[in-house]
Amino acid sequence: MNNPFSEQITSKELIVPIHKTVFRRKESAGFLHYVKEGGVKLVRNTLEGKEVITHIAKKGEFFSEAALFETNYHCDAIAIEHSVIVRYPNEEVLRFFKENPEKAFEYIRFLSGQIRVLRKQLEVVNVVTAKDRILLFLHSEAKNGVVKISGAVKNLAGQIGLAQETVYRQLSALEQEGVIKKEGDEIKIL
Amino acid sequence: MNNPFSEQITSKELIVPIHKTVFRRKESAGFLHYVKEGGVKLVRNTLEGKEVITHIAKKGEFFSEAALFETNYHCDAIAIEHSVIVRYPNEEVLRFFKENPEKAFEYIRFLSGQIRVLRKQLEVVNVVTAKDRILLFLHSEAKNGVVKISGAVKNLAGQIGLAQETVYRQLSALEQEGVIKKEGDEIKIL
DNA sequence: CGAGTCGTTGAACGGAATCAATCGTCGTGG
DNA sequence: CCACGACGATTGATTCCGTTCAACGACTCG
């Protein structure tokens, strides 16, 4: 789904500076969100206090889709860039889908895609060695051999379940080996 | 979604003995599947040859939902019990949704639930220590304090990204500590 | 200009993967 | 009906690598 719901749904735009939260876990969930500008990470914290990034929503993507039928959010949403977020009341979205089957259909396609991404992420996290895990992640994220790091390496680490130090070290090693090339917030796969 | 699509879609029932595949990765994807009896694991194999179980579909559940819009399956589906699988042609399912908005709506709810489950799984896999990871998994799977192990401990290990030996050891340890109780293919949380 | 965050490197420890071996069980086929 | 083979369950020993703790410089933003 590329575009939000035209003008048939009352929406509200939020300006969210980097590091600020859009919503928090356990807050009552009332809205479907859309990233008009910037980026947002969806974060869960394990018992140990480790930050697990279950998803990064970039410009043009929805998030909190899974909470459409929930009463509470089950993760934190935090901006990783200065962002503009549009939010749509859940009930209106649901009503909209009921009245516009084609849109519901599109949404099904979108959700199916999300599931595929999550499965891929599960596959990545299950790779034992840090180096292979990072490589698999890079390959799965790469567009034309280039991966854009959203915000920080720390976020990358949180997505694939490694300590950030490990990621730094392995990225350096990979660069030494000539497998990748870091350039600012981009990583090229050679 | 509890029930399949009534009689409006041409379906076919498959008898699948344990360990037999329903479909394989890269095969052309044409069907949505429903577990009428038994259970199926969805499996990806990492480069290292490790088996990652991205999902276990039990009696009364759909699987290959994410492939509804795909041309090929992206994982293997293998029966973990003697199973009866019903399959529905993708195009007919899609047509059915277009003609029955309420059903499409239900399906959206179903997909949303799947996403939640996958996110939870990601959270579990990111727990560092084996013991805590197993405990979190058990808690998230438990119904009335009881977890039914689908088929084998090996499958459990594959779901949470641990070596099976580690799972055996930690389960024993947890039983020693009086935290759980193993009884056949069930684990009670105390 | 100071607080907070990210990036980076070092050192040490612990725990999970791995290799290996044994036993039990179940299904299959001769 | 029994023997064999395959697979799951279980336990032991060893190795290794990722986490963790720690420290420091760079940078950004308010």
Say how far apart CA A131 and CA B39 lie, in whole Å: 34
Angle (CA) A113-A92-A94 rounded to 5° is 45
User: Do A112 and B50 make contact, defined as CB atoms within 8 angstroms?
Assistant: no
pLDDT tens profile B31-43: 999 999 999 999 9
Position B186 scores a pLDDT of 87
DSSP-assigned beta bridge partners for residue A42:
A55, A77
The answer to whether the beta carbons of residues B84 and B36 sit under 8 Å apart is yes
Question: How confident is the model over A60-67, as a mean pLDDT?
Answer: 92
pLDDT tens profile A11-56: 999 999 999 999 999 999 999 999 999 999 999 988 777 888 999 9
What is the pLDDT of chain B when averaged over all its residues?
90
Say how far apart CA A31 and CA A65 lie, in whole Å: 9
In 3D space, the residue among B37, B135, B50 whose CA is nearest the CA of residue B86 turns out to be: B37
Size of interface A-B (CB pairs under 8 A): 144
Q: Pick the residue from chain B with its C-alpha nearest to A102.
A: B98
pLDDT tens profile B93-152: 999 998 888 889 999 999 999 999 999 999 999 999 999 999 999 999 998 999 988 768
Position A2 scores a pLDDT of 53
Half-sphere exposure of B33 (CA within 13 A, CB side): 31
Q: Given a cut of 80, is residue A3 above it in pLDDT?
A: no
User: Do A54 and B129 make contact, defined as CB atoms within 8 angstroms?
Assistant: no
User: Do A44 and B68 make contact, defined as CB atoms within 8 angstroms?
Assistant: no
Say how far apart CA B189 and CA B135 lie, in whole Å: 9
- What are the start-end ranges of the E strands in B92-153? 146-148
Question: How confident is the model over A150-172, as a mean pLDDT?
Answer: 91
Calculate how close chain B gets to A177, using CA atoms only, in Å.
20
pLDDT tens profile B47-102: 777 888 999 998 889 999 989 999 999 999 999 988 999 999 999 999 999 888 88
Position B2 scores a pLDDT of 53
Residue A43 backbone zone (phi > 0: left; psi -120 to 50: alpha; other: beta): beta
DSSP B19-33: T-EEE-TTSBP-EEE
Can you give the pTM of this predicted structure? 0.91
Q: Which residue has the tokens 């809205």?
A: A31
How confident is residue B4, by pLDDT bands cut at 50, 70 and 90?
Answer: low
In strand D, the nucleotides that come within 7 Å of a protein beta carbon are: 8-13, 17-22, 29-30
Residue B50 backbone zone (phi > 0: left; psi -120 to 50: alpha; other: beta): beta
Position B45 scores a pLDDT of 84
